[in-house]
Structure 1
Amino acid sequence: MRILSWNIQWGRGLDGRVDLARIAEEARNFDAEVYCFQEVAVNHPGLAGMPPGQLDQVAVLRGLFLGYEAAFGADSDLPDGLGGRRLFGNLILSRRPMLQIFRHLLPWPAEAAVPSMQRIAVEAVIEAPEFPGGALRVITTHLEYYSASQRAAQCAALRAIADTGWRHAVSPRSAADTDAPFAVLPRGEGCVICGDFNAPVGAPEQAALTATHDAPALVNAWSVVHGAAPPAPTFGVHERRYVEAPACYDIFFVGANIAERVTGVEVDLGSTASDHQPVVLRLAD
C-alpha cells in the first residue's frame, strides 16, 4: 500500500499559479492507493492565485481522481457573506473502500495576540484485509503554525485519537442494536498519522505522539527505514519565505504494531507545485 501526504497550498505553486491539474498529475506519479492533501479550499476566492472557476477544490480533486472515495474535513468553516460557507481543510482520497470516516476537531487553547485557527484531523478507516483487524486507520492533519503550545495540545490529542481507535479495534462494541447508525465495522488495529506538523521532526511538542502508553506506540516511519539518517526536507526546499533552511515538516507516524510493514518513505524534492514537497509511505501487505 502506498499513501501520499502533501500540503498542496490550495494548489498554488511557486510560480504563483493555482493549478490542481498539476497537483494531480504529480501526485499520480506515485500511484498511491490513498492520497492525503492538506490546505484544500472551498469558496475562498481571496486566496492568492485562486481561479474563479474552480472554487470548490474538493469537487475538482474528486473529478481528477476518478475511482477514489473522498473524505473532507474543514478546520476553518466561515461565512462568505452571501449565505454560503468558506471552508479550508484536509482531504483524503482512497482507491480502497472507506469503511468509516471520522472528523476530529483538535484542541485550540486560547492564546492572546497569537494568530491561529481551528485545526482538524480527518480519519478514514480503509478496508485492508491484510492488516490487523481487517482495516487501516489513516489520519491526516495540519497543525497550528504560530503556536508551539497549541501544537503540543494537538499532538497529545492525535495520540489519544490513535489510542482510542486501537481500543475500539481490539474491544469491538456490541452489535445487539440493529439500527443502521449502530453498524459495527472493522476499525483496524494499525494506524498511520500524516500531515504538516508545522515544526521540524523532533520538535519538543511531538513527544506526546511517541510516548509509551498501554496502546501501541507511534514511531516516525522515516526512522524505521533510514535509521538515524536526517529526514529529507519537505518545507523551505525551493524558497525561504518562512524558514531559514530546509526542514522536514511533513511527517508520517505509524503504529508500532505495523512498523515492520514500512518498506519506504520518499520525498519528491523536485516538485515546485506547492511550497511543501510530497511524501509517500510504502507499506508491505
Structure 2
Amino acid sequence: MFKLVTWNIQSGRSPDGKTDLDRIIACLDRLCSFDMLCVQEVSDGYTDQSENQFAMLRERLPGYTGIEAIACEAAGAGTGADGGQHALRRFGMMVFSRHPVLQALRHSLPWPPEPEVMSMPRMALELTVAAPGGLLRVTSVHLEYFSQRQRLAQVERLRELHREASHHARCPPAPGRGPFAVPPRAMPALLAGDFNMLPGSPEHQRLLAPFSDGTQPWRDCWQLAQPGRRHAPTVGLHDANPNAAAPFTFDYVFASADLAGRVRRVQVDASEQGSDHQALLVELDWGAA
C-alpha cells in the first residue's frame, strides 16, 4: 500500500505556540511509515530561533529524498554594520520520497495584485517518482489564505499544469542529452496540500470540474474513500481560544480519475500534538504488480 501524508506544519509551531520540529517528527512516526510526505510552511530564518528547517527536516528523515520549493525569499529585518540587511530568509514547502525521484518541477502560482489584502507568493512543487506500482506524479501546494480571487487564479493554474502534464505523459519528449534528456511525466497523479478552501466552495468545485480535452479530472480522495460523509476537519481541532471558529477543512489530497479506484483509506490525525493543522493520510493501492 502506497501511503502519502500531507501536513501544514506551520514552521513546527504547535497550538501552544512552541516551535519543536522533533515533536512534528514524533507525530509522523506515530501516524504511519509513509512513502511520501508533503509539508507546507517550512521556514529558514522566520522563527524566533532563525533555524533552517529545510536542513533540519532532511537530517530527521534519513532514507528519504527531500526536495524543497521556496515561495518567499526576502531580506530579514536586521541590518549589518554597513547598513545592509542580513541574509535572506526563506519560506516554502518540502516533499520527501522513499522512492526514486526522477524529476522535480517548481511552478510559481498566480499572485494578482490586491493592495487591500495581505498576501504572499505561492508555489506548487511537482515530483515524478518511481513508485512500486509505476510512475506517479505528486504535486504539493499551499494556496492563498486571505484572497479568494488569488486562490481561484491559483486553482485555475493548477488545472492548466495538470492538463499540460497529462499531454506530456501521452506524448513523451523526443530523445535528448543533458538537460534535454527529460524524464517522463506520469499520467497517474496526486495533488496534496493546504488549499485554504472549504469543501463545496467555488474553488473546490472548480478544481474538480471536468476537462474538455480528455484530461483525467481531479477527484477528492475523502469523497472517494468515504462517499456521502462530511469531510473531517483539519484545522482548529485544538484551538484554546474561546472565540475561535469551529474546526473546519482546508487540507486535501486529490487523485486523478484514473487512480480513483485505487484509493483505499483517508485518515485525519486528530492528535493534539504538532501544528494547528492536522496531518492527512491517504493510502493508495499502488504497489508492485
What is the TM-score when the length of structure 2 is the normalising length?
0.91
Is 1:60 the counterpart of 2:61? The answer is no
Which residue is 1:274 aligned to?
275
Q: Aligned AA for 2:236? A: G
1:233-257 deviation per Cα after TM superposition (whole angstroms, max 9, x unaligned): 0001111769521111101111001
Per-residue deviation, 1:128 = 2.1
Per-residue deviation, 1:124 = 1.1
Q: Aligned AA for 2:13? A: R
CA-atom RMSD in angstroms: 1.5
Count, aligned residues: 274
Per-residue deviation, 1:206 = 2.3
Which residue is 2:256 aligned to?
255
Distance (whole Å) between structure 2 residues aligned to residue 121 and residue 114 of structure 1: 21
Off by >3 Å, runs of 4+ in structure 1: 240-243
Per-residue deviation, 1:126 = 1.1
Change (3 A) 1:277 1:68: same
Which residue is 2:37 aligned to?
35
Which residue is 2:82 aligned to?
none
Which residue is 2:149 aligned to?
149
Counterparts of 1:156-175 in structure 2, within 5 Å, are 156-175=156-175
Counterparts of 1:175-186 in structure 2, within 5 Å, are 175=175, 177-178=176-177, 180-186=178-184
Distance (whole Å) between structure 1 residues aligned to residue 240 and residue 136 of structure 2: 36
- Report the secondary structure of 2:11's partner residue: helix
Is 1:94 the counterpart of 2:94? The answer is no
- Report the secondary structure of 1:167's partner residue: helix
Q: Aligned AA for 2:265? A: G
Q: Aligned AA for 2:224? A: V
Distance (whole Å) between structure 1 residues aligned to residue 90 and residue 23 of structure 2: 22
Q: Aligned AA for 2:252? A: I
Contact 1:136–1:191 at 8 Å: present in 2 too?
yes
Per-residue deviation, 1:208 = 2.4
Distance (whole Å) between structure 1 residues aligned to residue 130 and residue 94 of structure 2: 18
What is the TM-score when the length of structure 1 is the normalising length?
0.92
Contact 1:149–1:205 at 8 Å: present in 2 too?
no
Contact 1:152–1:206 at 8 Å: present in 2 too?
no
- Report the secondary structure of 2:17's partner residue: coil
Is 1:18 the counterpart of 2:15? The answer is no
Per-residue deviation, 1:61 = 0.3
Distance (whole Å) between structure 2 residues aligned to residue 20 and residue 120 of structure 1: 22
Distance (whole Å) between structure 1 residues aligned to residue 132 and residue 182 of structure 2: 16
Distance (whole Å) between structure 2 residues aligned to residue 83 and residue 153 of structure 1: 33
Identity fraction in percent = 36
Per-residue deviation, 1:36 = 0.4
Unaligned runs of 5+ in 2: 80-84
Is 1:121 the counterpart of 2:121? The answer is no
- Report the secondary structure of 2:158's partner residue: helix
Counterparts of 1:169-208 in structure 2, within 5 Å, are 169-175=169-175, 177-178=176-177, 180-208=178-206
1:221-272 deviation per Cα after TM superposition (whole angstroms, max 9, x unaligned): 0000100100110001111769521111101111001111100110011233
Which residue is 1:218 aligned to?
218
